[in-house]
Amino acid sequence: MGRYVVRRLLQMIPVFIGSTLLIFLMVNVMGDPIAGLCGDRQCDPATAAQLRKEFGLDKPVWQQYLTYMGNVFTGDFGTAFNGQEVTELMSTAFPVTIRLTIVAILLQIIIGITLGVVTGLRRGRPVDTGVLLVTLVVISVPTFVTGLLLQLLLGVEWGWIRPSVSSAAPFDELIVPGLVLASVSLAYVTRLTRTSIAENRRSDYVRTAIAKGLPRHRVVTRHLLRNSLIPVVTFIGADIGFLMGGAIVTERIFNIHGVGYQLYQGILRQNTQTVVGFVTVLVLVFLLCNLVVDLLYAVLDPRIRYA
């Protein structure tokens, strides 16, 4: 187990370097970011040159990348064009996005798995067909439509929620945005759990458990669910990364000042430092999530052993 983890961690190094290099190059290909700083007019050449020098943009790209990576390892992610340290931006943005992700994941687990179990056990019944239909609709409607619709209905028409999240972004204000963010994944989790449950319900060990005379809820939770959850756990684990980085649409609709907002603004303003910094952290989150998911397999399925 320990050796496996070490091996996985070592594998992360090339992935990490490769992905940050790619992002760095992509942002650089977009052109000269200083030109966008002066609005529709031309920056005066002396100030532009000075700024380029200060941000290290006058050096060749490979050198910029090396300096940047060197600084990253000492915890210095550079400065955004508005004079704020990128680490400062991160310290305000990540807590918000993490809260949003937690809400989304919890909703996925609670609603998704419950619905999955209910429909999986009642295959072909009206409940099953109904939920299947609803998930189909949720999957096919884009997030921004669901988001804007809920915002308009709950926020403006009925006045149940505030249409925008305040800058502190406490958990209770994040429930609706979390639901919107989780909606598509939630539908997938429902369907995954349903199929998995329905399949395993006919397996030998479930029949044995029932034959032993175990109570129904015990059969479902201890035997059926534990085995059926393996694909679901993989999905949710991989989804954490997606949710954190892919919340741009939801964060814009509900005016949440999280990672998506910073990334969006960073891209618009061609702020290399912000974009690369945030993506670097997201890459790390993604890699770690994958590792944890793989380790969880062993917990869920004792037949899997890592050496």
Partner 1 sequence: MRAATHARWAACAVAVTLAATACGGGGGSGGDSGAVLSSSWTDPQNPLEPANTNEVQGGKVLYMIFRGLKQYDPKTGEAEDMLAEKIETSDSRNYTITIKDGWTFSNGEKVTAKSFVDAWNYGASLKNNQKNAYFFSYIEGYDEVHPEKGEQKAETLSGLKVVDDRTFTVRLSQKFSSFPDTLGYNAFVPLPRVFFDDHAGWLAKPVGNGPYTVESYTKGSEMRLTKWDAYPGEDAAQNGGVTLKVYTDNNTAYTDLMAGNLDLVDDVPAQQLRNVQNDLGDRYLNTPAGIIQTLSFPHYDKKWNKDGSDKVRKGLSRAIDREQITETIFQKTRTPATDWTSPVLGEDGGYKEGLCGEWCEYDADEAKKLIEEGGGLPGGQVKITYNADTGSHKLWVDAVCNSINNALDNDRACVGSPMGTFADFRSQASTQKLSGPFRAGWQMDYPLIQNFLQPLYYTGASSNDGKWSNEEFDELVDEANAETDVAKAVETFQKAEEVVRDNMASIPLWYQNGSAGWSDRLSNVALNPFSVPVYNEIKVG
Q: Which residues bind partner 1 (CB under 8 A)?
A: 30-47, 50-51, 54, 81-84, 88-89, 92, 151-152, 155-156, 159, 162-164, 167, 251-255, 257, 261, 264-265, 267-270
Residue 275 zone, left/alpha/beta (φ > 0; ψ -120 to 50; rest): alpha
Taking the complex as a whole, how short is the minimal distance between the CB of residue 85 and partner 1, in angstroms?
A: 10
Taking the complex as a whole, how short is the minimal distance between the CB of residue 128 and partner 1, in angstroms?
A: 37
**Which residues face 85 on adjacent strands?**
79
Taking the complex as a whole, how short is the minimal distance between the CB of residue 246 and partner 1, in angstroms?
A: 15
Query: 34 vs 189, which CB is nearer to partner 1?
Result: 34
Taking the complex as a whole, how short is the minimal distance between the CB of residue 283 and partner 1, in angstroms?
A: 23
Query: 169 vs 182, which CB is nearer to partner 1?
Result: 169
Nearest to 273 by CA among 106, 117, 57: 57
- The 3-state DSSP class for residue 280 equals helix
Query: 173 vs 239, which CB is nearer to partner 1?
Result: 173
Contacts of 298 (CB under 8 A, 6+ apart): 1, 304, 305, 306
Taking the complex as a whole, how short is the minimal distance between the CB of residue 171 and partner 1, in angstroms?
A: 18
Query: 36 vs 106, which CB is nearer to partner 1?
Result: 36
**Cβ burial 272-307 (10 Å sphere, 16+ → b, else e):** bbbbbbbbbbbbebbbbbbbebbbbeeeeeeeeeee
Query: 123 vs 162, which CB is nearer to partner 1?
Result: 162
Nearest to 183 by CA among 151, 158, 155, 147: 147
